Homo-oligomer: A and B are copies of this chain.
Amino acid sequence: MSLRIIATGGTFDKHYNPLDGSLGFGDSVLPEALARARLAEPYAFQSLMAIDSLDMNDDHRQQILSACKSAPEGRLVIVHGTDTMRDTAAVIAAARLDKTIVLTGAMIPYLIDGSDAMFNLGSAITAARLSPPGVWIAMHAQVFAWNEVHKNRAAGIFERTD
């Protein structure tokens, strides 16, 4: 029943670089976010990579799959970029692990005003606790089977695929 949270980067974890005005990566914000969440039960945290999901290739996805396989926990939350969240979910789903795996992310970085990051994190950990084994995507407090959702880029939301 125990829980692991895996950081892979994505919008959720982007930092502003004051030297060049870009958004990039630094130390993951997740340890701070999880401390704020006051989780009462123990959990493991793993910072696996810190990249934009548009820059993820098959090697990165195999690394994420390996982390899912080798995790001793039965419930995993993967914080991931939104653009290719479904592609990573497909790779994990193909392995048919007997674990509840929930991918989540954010439309606005944790460190930027108006962020949805804490909301989605609360949703994803809850989904990981309540959902049966399988691969799920939790965004905007909805929990989708990984192959029944797509990102609507024009609206900036995840929607059920008809």
Contacts and interface: CB of A to CB of B under 8 A. Distances in A.
- Which of A23, A112, A123, A131 counts the most chain B CB atoms within 10 A? A123
A22 B55 CA distance: 16
B109 A16 contact: yes
Interface string A142-162: 110000000001101111000
Interface residues of A, number: 45
Contacts of A119: 33, 36-37, 118-119, 121-122
Contacts of A156: 18-19, 38
Nearest to A158: B40
Interface of A: 11, 16, 18-19, 21, 23, 33, 36-41, 107-109, 111-116, 118-123, 125-127, 129-131, 138, 140-143, 153-154, 156-159
